[in-house]
Amino acid sequence: MRRLAERTGVLDVNSTYAYLLWATDFAATSIVADAPATGALLGYITGYHPPARPEVLFVWQVAVDPAAQGRGLGGAMLDALVARVCADRDGGPVTVEATVAPSNSSSRALFGALARRHGVPITEQPRFGADLLDLDGGHEDEPMLRIGPITRHPNNPERRHQ
Ligand SMILES: CC(C)(COP(=O)(O)OP(=O)(O)OC[C@H]1O[C@@H](n2cnc3c(N)ncnc32)[C@H](O)[C@@H]1OP(=O)(O)O)[C@@H](O)C(=O)NCCC(=O)NCCS
C-alpha cells in the first residue's frame, strides 16, 4: 500500500506501520483490489468511522495504480466498500466524507460520480486549511466533501450496491 501511494505521485505517503495498522484494525472500513492474474495490488481505500459519528464512513486515502486509472476501479472499490459498510450497519444510512484538494479533479469526479450513482447530494465545507497542512505553503486547502446519506436500495439492494 505504501508503494502504491508513492506511485500515485499525489498522495501523502504514510509509514509502512500506519498502513499495517489500517489493514488490520480498520480492515472493516477499508478495501483493496488485486489483479486477478498476478495478485498485484492495483488499488486501495483506507477508511474509518469517526468515533462520535459512526454513521459516517470517512475515506482517508483512495489509490489506484496509475496504469489502472480511468477504468472504473476507484468507483468500483468505493461502491463495494459502501455496500459492505451499509450491510454491516443493517442497510445504513451511511454518509461518506473525504477531504479533497480543489485541484484534484479525478478525486472530485470519483466522489461526484458516487453521489450520482446513489442519487444523493454532495456538499462541500471547509475542513483543513493549507496553513495546518504545511507551514511552508506547500499544500492546498483540504475542504470536506459529504456524500449521502446512502441507504440500501429498498427494492433491489443487490443491484444498488454491487
Ligand atoms: C482518484 C482515483 C482514485 C480515481 O480512481 P480511478 O479508478 O481512476 O477512477 P474511475 O475510473 O473509477 O473514475 C471515477 C470518475 O472519475 C473520472 N476520472 C477518472 N480519472 C480522471 C481524471 N484524471 N480527471 C478527471 N476525471 C477523472 C471518471 O470519468 C469517473 O467519473 P464518471 O463516472 O463521471 O465518468 C485515481 O485517479 C488515483 O488514484 N489518483 C491519485 C490519488 C488520489 O488523488 N486519490 C484521491 C485523494 S484521497
Ligand 1 atom, smallest distance to 60 CA: 48
Local structure of residue 154 (DSSP, 8 states): S
Q: Domain residues for 69?
A: 2-161
d(CA 22, CA 40): 19
Q: What's the pLDDT tens digit per position in 57-110?
A: 999 999 999 999 999 999 999 999 999 999 999 998 999 999 999 999 999 999
- Written as nine digits, the cell of 145 is 466533501
CATH number of the domain bearing residue 66: 3.40.630.30
Widest pairwise Cα distance in the chain: 52
- Give the whole-angstrom CA distance, residue 12 versus residue 81: 22
Question: pLDDT value at position 138?
Answer: 86
Q: Which of 2, 45, 69 to mutate to test the pocket of ligand 1 (most atoms within 8 A of CB)?
A: 69
β-strand pairing of 56-64 with 94-99: parallel
Number of domains within the chain: 1
Q: What is the CA(108)–ligand 1 centre distance, in A?
A: 8
